[in-house]
Amino acid sequence: MNLLVTGGCGFIGSNFIRQRLLETGSPLRRLVNLDALTYAGNPANLADLAGDPRYVFAHGGIGDVELVSRLFTEHQFDAVVNFAAESHVDRSIDSPEPFVQTNVVGTLRLLNAARLHWARLPEPRKSAFRFLHVSTDEVYGTLAPTDPAFTEETPFAPNSPYAASKAASDHLVRSYQHTFKLPTLTTNCSNNYGPYHFPEKLIPLMILNALEGKPLPVYGDGMQIRDWLYVEDHAAAIWLVLQKGRVGETYNIGGLNEKPNLEIVRTICALLDRKSPRPDGQSYATQITYVADRPGHDRRYAIDCRKLQRELGWAPRESFATGIEKTVDWYLTHRAWAADITAKKYQRERLGTTS
């Protein structure tokens, strides 16, 4: 297989690539990672794999028509996995337009390139080709405490510019399958966590702020509920859907771990109290600080992933207890990785740039 992975230097994409290149008996002949290296794209996530002869890095965005077309021609891809996206809700509230450009226009251009390439493929490669689009549970909106979890049939009701842009991209993928018969698949996942998570996201932010003696900011009352999915379980599910999923279908991927944000923060504090105690003997929980809730903050997400379990036999390997401990351990041993990102982020802000 020649595989195009977009956004492969990001959190989930880099874990997916790492899993594919390190697995025994991998069918990969070549894996091309196309990444624009915006704020969340970090080549250091894959630096130790750069010498793998199957791995090719291409610097650029999915909206670059000339570059993407050239990559399809040069590498003759058998499949595409599209991770490339702007994905931070707070950033989408501050500045929605980059989310529309990448998540909507970029996905459209990538779909166009894939369709033209697929149409020229000979059989049986044409029948075997797949375009897998990675999306989010945020397209479904929010849930009340007693509402059933999101299924693949839940109507879209996005509540942030980020979620709206992802919903639009999901609709475009569906339309290309229906109109042009492009063999597409879509996955909608719950909140991911694990190694290489960008430090401004909830779990790494809490770990790193705690260790640095900074406040642990919790929005509102901290009772916003999310379903937490360990990133390696997510990567394995995507690979399974790519290989065995039914064309045109959507598969929800969840961690089966609904937790309120405040419980997540307190769990992290308890783990750090045990693994890296504060010099003064106080609990890291004393650093928890409640801040004003963000605009339009969805109250609860929950994923019903029974379709994926039933059709493809998938189940998460990690419970939240095992996954969060692995995550805390990873950040404790990768402080330099996080410090380097923070330093680069500060430098970009000082220079007035955002990419």
Kind and range of the H or E element at 114? helix 107-120
Q: Quick one: which of 155, 154, 125, 156 has its CA closest to 139?
A: 156
Report, as ranges of residue numbers, the positions in the chain whose pLDDT lies below 50.
346-355
Strand partners, 189: 136, 253
Task: Decide if 16 contacts 81 (C-beta within 8 A).
Answer: yes
| pLDDT, tens only, 291-332 | 999 887 889 999 999 999 999 999 999 999 999 999 999 999
What is the identity of the amino acid at 289?
T
| pLDDT, tens only, 105-120 | 999 999 999 999 999 9
2-198+229-256+299-318 folds as Rossmann fold (3.40.50)
Q: Where are the domains of the chain?
A: 2-198+229-256+299-318
Task: Report the C-alpha gap between 258 and 72 in whole angstroms.
Answer: 40
The reported pLDDT for the residue numbered 29 is: 96
| pLDDT, tens only, 240-251 | 999 999 999 999
The reported pLDDT for the residue numbered 93 is: 84
The reported pLDDT for the residue numbered 345 is: 53
Active site residues: 137-138, 162
The reported pLDDT for the residue numbered 8 is: 97
**Per-residue exposure over 287-305, b if at least 16 CB sit within 10 Å of its own CB, e if not:** bbeeeeeeeebbebbbbbb
Task: Report the C-alpha gap between 20 and 25 in whole angstroms.
Answer: 10
The reported pLDDT for the residue numbered 92 is: 83
The reported pLDDT for the residue numbered 182 is: 98
